[in-house]
Structure 1
């Protein structure tokens, strides 16, 4: 296989697109996942997938918690599409594995034998599963797997750290864009800054809260249950906590006495857009990290509410985001404990 593409589109994987021709791999319906490498590609022997929260929730709800049915559908998606790209949520996840082969023109700083995590979505990563996911019960986001994946010249990848288990590192890397972007946004404001995180007890939510606190913000968490409230309080992750259904815009707006400078949406269910907008002060920022977000609902809702807020899509990439997230986990024992508990539960 040769790259066949030069210039600004070099290294983005266009030759891997089977249909429809002319789109980038993320937008493609089907990718060529064969093991043969182009000169700028890398092949990884897969050991574990991490399905994103929105995708796993959708599949689990669809099949009534039947793990075997969830496993069968994931295999069907990968087999049909040549990638893990949930056609309902439009999302995928990420993976870890060992580098098998590096093309002679690859710009990625990895070598054969490196244990790595991909920091790009499975929705654009050519993927083959060869073990039928026999080691997965279909009941958790983390998926033991065997197969291979292809990284492009412009893919993002990180060598796994020695001081964290691969499963823990995978869980952190899965959401590493959240704390880095929250840090950037918070530090862009002067004076007192308040940050409200919808879904503060989850992976991205807990990292977002901690990054905001480390950046000097006053932090507030919205969670869905008393159990999650207790978790936040026990680990000291937020200055204030409210138990509110994030899909109820009035309840979210009234959860605290004043709107936030920055509101971060980390809830993996749809319908949280309007509450986040209402809960944000004029001149503030709403960051949407959930793949369940309807961006048309967000845009039209803000317009209809005459809300003078900046809305950002958390695209999962900020320069240095992987190292930043690992540093947050290492510096904050409570966050590390929360992640370790989540991983062990899987």
Structure 2
């Protein structure tokens, strides 16, 4: 096979579009697992036919993973060492405690002749698939990262599969800002869909509560809910400092303050703000919010869990124990057009952009 960039000839290497050929364990001859479930991935730079190799500029660790690493390791230097150790051991960035990773920005440096991703050498892209399933090599020891923030300057390379998803970076936004938006772009897309379904089913817009409304995914979800016809948007935050930020952003009709880990407090805060909610979107990066989200949601309503800190057994068993007739959705990070939707929300809503820029 001929490389799309180098012109060198390599043996025929036909890859599986979901990346099974990159899984190193368990023994692929006896047990097949997807790259996300695998412990180790093959990170060799030579491409299979449908792959793309990206020169990495920056990683964006997901919020739940970064929080856990900071809590366990304390100092930024120790966090940096922990991330390096994970990538070196596993061939990908997958926090062994949270199971989550993040995404990256980089420049396409080689495209397999069978690739269908529509990318060209030189494109600056953000990957819209998780680092938990992306073969990754760090070549600079993360020397430019102090371990104090979720965005990680990095020199190395990553490999995308035939069914990976990547988006070209827009020219009108800073790369770091685009990366932050694309990292959470699944949340506003699913929020839009669920609100539209409620409107079509009932003829009225839903009451939407977003837990963690001043955060990145939360602010985008509030903006998306309003544009999708919500009759009332409720932003729930943990303390008054966050409440002031969210009020200044103007994204929620009502801002409520409650500890989302206290189910009664969350239920009462949403009720006092005009709930219960027809749609509750959970966008916080701390565990223990499942019961409160269920209690804050009306019978027949929907809870969307957009947090890697969610315990899905706790959510399911908790709803059963509360005799709560609610639909619960796992926040899939992918939906057609999700990146463009999220970037357009940022452009149109100054409050969203301000919250993103305040968080860096």
Q: TM-score, normalized by length of structure 2?
A: 0.92
- Deviations along 1:230-266, one digit per CA (max 9) or x if unpaired, are 0000111111111111000000011033310000000
Equivalent residue number for residue 170 of structure 1: 179
Q: For 1:185 and 1:141, how far apart are their aligned partners in 2?
A: 29
Verify the 8 A CA contact 1:3 1:15 in the aligned structure 2.
no
8 Å CA contact 2:198–2:206 kept in 1: the answer is yes
Alignment gaps of 5+ in structure 1:
none
Q: Quick one: distance in 2 between partners of 1:256 and 1:327?
A: 28
Per the alignment, residue 295 of structure 2 pairs with 278
Following superposition, the deviation at residue 192 of structure 1 comes to 3.5
Evaluate the alpha carbon distance shift between residue 39 and residue 61 of structure 1 in structure 2; reply closer, same or farther with a 3 A threshold. same
What's the secondary structure of 1:18's corresponding residue? coil
The SS at the match of 1:128 is strand
Q: Which residue of 1 aligns with 2:239?
A: 225
Distance 1:279 1:37, change over 3 A: same
Residues 139-177 of structure 1 show CA distances to partners (whole Å, capped at 9, x for unaligned) of: 000000000000000000000000001000000000000
SS at 2:43's partner residue? coil
- Tell which deviates more after alignment, 227-236 or 185-194: 185-194
* Matched residue, 1:34: 44
Aligned counterpart, 2:342 = 325
Give SS of 1:94's match: strand
Partner Cα separation in structure 2 for residue 284 and residue 16 of structure 1: 41
Q: Distance between the aligned counterparts of 2:296 and 2:290, measured in 1?
A: 10
Of residues 8, 12, 20, the one that matches 2:18 is 12
- Structure 1 residues 46 and 63, CA gap change in structure 2 (3 angstroms): same
Contact 2:14 2:48 in 1 (8 A): no
- 1:184-228 Cα offsets, whole Å, 9 max, x none, are 100111313100011111100000011001112110011111110
Which stretches of structure 1, 4 residues or more, deviate above 6 A after TM superposition? none
Aligned pair 1:302/2:312, yes or no? no
Unaligned runs of 5+ in 2: 1-10
Task: Determine the C-alpha separation between the residues in 1 that align with 2:280 and 2:270.
Answer: 12
**Residues 226 and 2 of structure 1, relative CA distance in 2, 3 Å threshold:** farther
Q: Which has the larger radius of gyration?
A: 2
Find the aligned partners of 2:281 and 2:251 in 1 and give their Cα distance: 15
State whether residues 284 and 310 of structure 1, in contact with CA within 8 Å, keep that contact through their aligned partners in structure 2: yes
Question: How does 1:76-225 map onto structure 2 within 5 Å?
Answer: 76-190=85-199, 191-217=204-230, 218-225=232-239
Matches of 2:143 and 2:12, distance apart in 1: 34
Query: How far apart are residue 129 of structure 1 and its match?
Result: 0.1
- Root-mean-square deviation (CA), in Å? 1.0
Aligned to 2:8: none
Task: Report if the CA contact (8 A) 2:17-2:50 is conserved.
Answer: yes
Contact in 2 for aligned 1:12/1:155 (Cα 8 Å): yes
Question: 2: distance between equivalents of 1:58 and 1:33?
Answer: 26
Could you say what secondary structure the match of 1:85 adopts? coil
Deviations 1:6-60 (A, max 9, x none): xxxx300001000123100000000001111000000000000000000000000
Normalized against structure 1, the TM-score is what?
0.96
